[in-house]
Structures are given as structure tokens and as C-alpha cells.
């Protein structure tokens, strides 16, 4: 009995020290890692259909797979930004700079890759959507980005984001053209935006299929045909899409979100194939609104946060500008709710597959974000497996200034790999 207790204690002690080692061994010394500056530009409505059309002087090379965007445009991002904003953006955001410099450092050990990013941002956009009590009922407020809101006279309220799109060069169109293969004329907020009812009645994408009501990123290979308006409805049969996944013909998409992932140190881990999809075990949020009861599903756990809700006019001063499952309890309709009481929506939580983590801090006009990603997630149908020695292609994007959709800064396609200074982003051995 006593012996059992001692060995039990030993096991716990060993496990605990392993856990501590893991936590403390987690981040490289960033001051020793070289920094690369990447120039991002606002692309406006620069779609795949435009880039492959006669209107784009590089289209022959793009269509015949003879050159990459970077071959022709690297070093001239400022020119691209100005041309895109002048020719391809019907509603530019006044005063928004056309370019943004993103500083990147990357390191690895035997299990993880670590990425460090820094960019300037005049204020952190961390406030998004809330359920607010108007004295009679709960109503969703915020969560709508610029410029649509500004036009309506409502202050824009959206989250900053950093996106990494990654491939292992299996998807050759991505290697040459980067994220541009995923941007089409029929996506939301693009010139031929698909109609909601048409999407909802589509056999595969709609109510009877994967239940979408708008069109987001997709890769051209997922469609049987694309014309100048796009090709959203021509989705390949499911079996073919499954085979594409097995062959690795998709792009991984990691998203750091200032409101919906950063507060609890997680990442939005997804991929782009016939749609922008979440990994199967990657779900990290759900609506905090019960449509039948017409009230939030959760409120703050007062024993942990000192409140059940906060006054909406104080939203900018809240430590808990988000709600996560560890600080929430089921909503109680019998509380005497007052006009202006607010509870964040959605509620966020750590996903089942929590192999990537992040932390970001806004200070003195800049965001610094660190992402830790397992080299091998063990899920090759939805994630790329990073292996020292291999070369990958990557596209980076940033949303700031309360924007979403096309109002982002994007990079030209780049190479990324391990311990090879010739690549655009070199992931150096940290220890
Ligand atoms: C073979 C060279 C070549 C390739 C490859 C190429 N382009 Fe171009 N692109 C040009 C030239 C030439 C122009 C016109 C001059 C300029 O704007 O620099 C142009 C113009 C543009 C413009 C400005 C469009 C406008 O409305 O004025 C954008 C944006 C652009 N390219 C993006 C891309 C992207 C993204 C890729 C990769 C998918 C790409 N290009 C591939 C040569 C190329």
C-alpha cells in the first residue's frame, strides 16, 4: 500500500516536471533569431479571374504556369498596391496606407515551429460582437467591419487578424500564385458575389450539403469550370474532393484573431479546398445566442470575473472583452438584467485538436504575435506536415483597422523552409 503510494507520488512528480519542462522550453530566444521584413499590399478586388484574364499583362505567364507572381512583382509591391487601390477597389478606406511591413522571425526544435510577427497598428482592434439587453430583449451589436459600417454611420467594430496560408508545394498553383488562387470574383464582397438564396439551394454547398449561405475562399482545382465571373457553383463531386485531400491538394490556413483566439492563446486552424473550412477537431467557438429562447446561452461566471455582464458603454475598458467557457456559466434569465448589459458573442474555447498555440500583445503602436505550431499534427488530410529539409510555400495576410474580407494586406507567394538562408523565410534551429 505504502509502496504504491510512493510510486504513485513519483509518477505524478515526474509528469509534473515534464509538464514544467514543456512550458519553459517552449519559446526560443527571439533576440538571437534573424528578422525578415516582408512588404504586404492591399490587393482590393484583385481576383484569380482578373489575374488570368487578358486585362492582366502577366496572364499568359500565369495561365501557362511559366512564372510566379513574385518573379514579376517582387520588390515592386508599392506599385502593385497603388495600381490595385486605383483600379481594383471601388470603396477604398480613406487614409488607410496601401502597404504594411510585417517583420517575421522563425525557429524550430524537433517538435515545434515557432513564428514571431510584428507590425504597426495604430490601435488594437480587439472589440467585436456583443449581445446587449435593450430593456426588453437581447440584440447583437457590433461585429460588422469597415467600410460597410462606416457608410451606414455606425462605428466599425472588428478584430485584427494575422493569416498564414501554407502548402508543401503539392498544390503547384499555390506555389506560383500564393493566396491569389483562393480569391474569386464570386466570393462575398467581390464584384460577382454569389446570391445567398442560390448558395443555400446549392446541392453540395447549401442547406442539404455543408450548410453555407455565402461563398468564401476556394481553390480553382476544386471546381470543374471557372469563367470570368468565378466558378463557385461548379464544385467537383465529393469523392474527387476527398481524393484531392488525400493527395494534399489543399492549402492550410492558420488564423490568429485578436478577439476570438488571442484571449485564450489558441489558433484558428483550417484549410482551403472547396471552401474555407475548419479542421474537424478545430472548432473553437459557438454563437452565444439561443435563437429559440432569444437570449444569450452563457453569461460570465461572477465567482471568476466579478460580474455577470458589463455595461456596453464600458466595452473598451474591459479585461473580459471576450467570453470563454472557463469563465462562463449558463445564462440565467431570472437575473434582473438592466438596459445596456452586455455579454460577448461568440463564446470561445480550446479546440479538441489544440496543437497550435499563440499569444499576441499590442504595445506602443505595434502588435507582436508569437505562434507555436506542431511540425507534425498527425492529420495530413487537413494540415501540412512540416519536415526539416523540405521546402514549403506560404502567403501571409493581415487585417487591421476594424476590417475583414478583401480589406486586408497580403504578401506575394514566398518560400519557407528549414535552416536554409536562401529561402524567403528561414526557420532556424533554435536548440
Ligand atoms: C510575367 C510577369 C507577370 C506575372 C507572372 C504576374 N504579373 Fe501581374 N502584372 C504584370 C505586368 C507587366 C503588369 C502591369 C504593370 C505593372 O502593374 O507592374 C501587372 C499588373 C498587375 C497588377 C496591377 C493590376 C492593375 O489593375 O493595374 C496586379 C495587382 C498584379 N499584376 C498582380 C499579380 C499577381 C498577384 C500575380 C500572380 C498571380 C501576377 N501579377 C503575375 C506582370 C506579371
In order along its 431 residues, the chain shows pLDDT tens digits of 455 555 555 555 555 544 444 444 578 999 999 999 999 999 999 999 999 999 999 999 999 999 999 999 999 999 999 999 999 999 998 888 999 999 999 999 999 999 999 999 989 999 999 999 999 999 999 998 888 776 677 788 999 999 999 999 999 999 999 999 999 999 999 999 999 999 999 999 999 999 999 999 999 999 999 999 999 999 999 999 999 999 999 999 999 999 999 999 999 999 999 999 999 999 999 999 999 999 999 999 999 999 999 999 999 999 999 999 999 999 999 999 999 999 999 999 999 987 899 999 999 999 999 999 999 989 999 999 999 999 999 999 999 999 999 999 999 999 999 999 999 999 999 97
Residue 85 Cβ < 6 Å to ligand 1: no
Residue 137 Cβ < 6 Å to ligand 1: no
Residue 70 Cβ < 6 Å to ligand 1: no
Measured from the Cβ of residue 277, the count of other Cβ atoms closer than 10 Å reads 19
User: What domains appear along the chain, each with residue ranges and CATH number?
Assistant: 33-125+160-284+350-429 (2.60.40.1190), 126-139+285-349 (no CATH)
Please tell me the distance between residue 84's alpha carbon and the centre of ligand 1 in angstroms. 10
Please tell me the distance between residue 55's alpha carbon and the centre of ligand 1 in angstroms. 10
Q: State the closest ligand 1 atom to the C-alpha of 178, by its place in the atom list counted from 1.
A: 38
Please tell me the distance between residue 287's alpha carbon and the centre of ligand 1 in angstroms. 41
Residue 81 Cβ < 6 Å to ligand 1: no
Pocket residue to mutate for ligand 1, from 56, 70, 82, 412, most atoms within 8 A of Cβ: 56
Does a cis peptide bond (omega within 30 degrees of 0) precede residue 147?
yes
Please tell me the distance between residue 255's alpha carbon and the centre of ligand 1 in angstroms. 27
Residue 74 Cβ < 6 Å to ligand 1: no
Residue 220 Cβ < 6 Å to ligand 1: no
Cβ pair 214, 184 in contact under 8 A:
no
Can you give the pLDDT at residue 407?
94
Q: State the closest ligand 1 atom to the C-alpha of 412, by its place in the atom list counted from 1.
A: 35
Can you give the pLDDT at residue 10?
55
Alpha carbons 414 and 426: distance in angstroms, whole number: 11
Please tell me the distance between residue 56's alpha carbon and the centre of ligand 1 in angstroms. 6
Please tell me the distance between residue 199's alpha carbon and the centre of ligand 1 in angstroms. 31
Can you give the pLDDT at residue 341?
98
Question: Cα angle vertex 401, ends 395, 404, to 5°?
Answer: 55
Ligand 1: residue whose CA is nearest its atom 37: 69
Radius of gyration from C-alpha coordinates of the chain: 23
Q: State the closest ligand 1 atom to the C-alpha of 76, by its place in the atom list counted from 1.
A: 18
Please tell me the distance between residue 39's alpha carbon and the centre of ligand 1 in angstroms. 16
Residue 75 Cβ < 6 Å to ligand 1: no
161-199: b (≥16 Cβ within 10 Å) or e: bbbbbbbbeebebbbbbbbbbbbbbbbeebebbbeeeeb
Q: Which residues contact 380 (CB under 8 A, 6 or more apart)?
A: 248
Ligand 1: residue whose CA is nearest its atom 25: 83
Please tell me the distance between residue 21's alpha carbon and the centre of ligand 1 in angstroms. 49
Give the closest residue to 183 by CA, choosing from 272, 255, 108, 117.
272
Residue 84 Cβ < 6 Å to ligand 1: yes
Predicted structure pTM score: 0.93
Ligand 1: residue whose CA is nearest its atom 43: 58
Ligand 1: residue whose CA is nearest its atom 11: 57
Can you give the pLDDT at residue 413?
98
Pocket residue to mutate for ligand 1, from 57, 220, 409, most atoms within 8 A of Cβ: 57
What are the tens digits of pLDDT across the range 300-311?
Answer: 999 999 999 999
Q: State the closest ligand 1 atom to the C-alpha of 71, by its place in the atom list counted from 1.
A: 5
C-alpha separations of 210 from 152, 207, 216 in Å: 32, 7, 13
Amino acid at each position: 500500500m505504502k509502496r504504491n503510494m510512493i510510486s504513485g507520488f513519483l509518477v505524478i512528480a515526474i509528469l509534473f516536471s515534464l509538464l514544467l519542462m514543456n512550458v519553459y522550453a517552449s519559446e526560443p530566444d527571439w533576440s538571437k533569431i534573424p528578422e525578415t521584413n516582408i512588404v504586404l499590399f492591399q490587393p482590393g478586388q484583385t481576383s484569380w479571374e482578373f489575374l488570368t484574364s487578358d486585362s492582366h499583362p502577366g496572364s499568359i505567364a500565369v495561365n501557362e504556369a511559366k512564372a510566379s507572381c513574385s518573379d514579376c512583382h517582387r520588390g515592386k509591391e508599392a506599385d502593385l498596391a497603388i495600381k490595385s487601390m486605383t483600379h481594383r477597389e471601388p470603396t477604398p478606406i480613406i487614409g488607410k496606407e496601401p502597404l504594411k511591413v510585417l517583420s517575421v522571425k522563425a525557429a524550430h526544435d524537433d517538435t515545434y515551429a515557432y513564428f514571431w510577427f510584428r507590425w504597426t497598428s495604430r490601435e488594437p482592434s480587439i472589440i467585436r460582437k456583443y449581445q446587449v439587453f435593450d430593456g426588453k430583449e437581447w440584440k447583437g451589436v457590433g461585429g460588422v467591419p469597415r467600410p460597410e459600417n462606416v457608410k451606414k454611420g455606425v462605428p466599425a467594430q472588428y478584430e485584427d487578424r494575422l493569416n498564414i496560408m501554407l502548402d508543401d508545394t503539392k498544390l503547384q498553383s499555390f506555389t506560383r500564385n500564393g493566396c491569389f488562387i483562393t480569391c474569386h470574383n464570386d466570393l462575398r464582397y467581390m464584384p460577382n458575389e454569389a446570391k445567398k438564396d442560390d448558395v443555400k439551394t446549392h446541392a453540395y454547398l447549401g442547406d442539404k450539403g455543408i450548410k453555407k449561405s455565402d461563398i468564401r475562399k476556394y481553390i480553382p482545382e476544386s471546381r470543374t469550370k471557372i469563367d470570368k465571373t468565378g466558378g463557385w457553383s461548379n464544385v467537383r463531386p465529393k469523392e474527387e474532393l476527398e481524393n484531392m485531400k488525400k493527395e494534399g491538394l489543399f492549402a492550410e490556413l492558420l488564423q490568429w484573431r485578436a478577439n476570438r483566439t488571442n484571449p485564450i492563446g489558441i489558433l484558428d486552424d483550417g484549410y482551403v479546398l472547396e471552401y474555407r473550412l475548419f479542421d474537424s477537431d478545430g472548432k473553437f467557438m459557438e454563437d452565444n445566442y439561443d435563437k429559440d429562447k432569444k437570449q444569450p446561452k452563457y453569461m460570465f461566471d461572477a465567482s471568476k470575473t466579478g460580474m455577470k455582464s458589463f455595461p456596453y458603454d464600458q466595452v473598451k475598458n474591459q479585461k473580459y472583452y471576450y467570453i470563454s467557457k472557463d469563465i462562463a456559466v449558463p445564462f440565467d434569465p431570472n437575473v434582473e438584467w438592466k438596459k445596456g448589459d452586455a455579454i460577448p458573442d461568440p463564446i470561445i474555447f480550446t479546440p479538441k485538436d489544440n496543437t497550435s498555440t499563440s499569444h499576441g500583445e499590442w504595445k506602443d503602436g505595434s502588435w507582436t504575435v508569437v505562434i507555436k505550431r506542431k511540425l507534425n499534427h498527425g492529420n495530413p488530410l487537413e494540415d501540412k506536415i512540416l519536415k526539416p529539409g523540405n521546402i514549403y510555400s506560404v502567403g501571409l495576410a493581415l487585417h487591421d483597422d476594424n476590417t475583414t474580407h478583401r480589406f486586408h494586406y497580403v504578401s506575394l507567394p514566398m518560400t519557407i523552409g528549414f535552416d536554409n538562408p536562401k529561402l524567403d523565410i528561414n526557420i532556424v534551429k533554435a536548440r
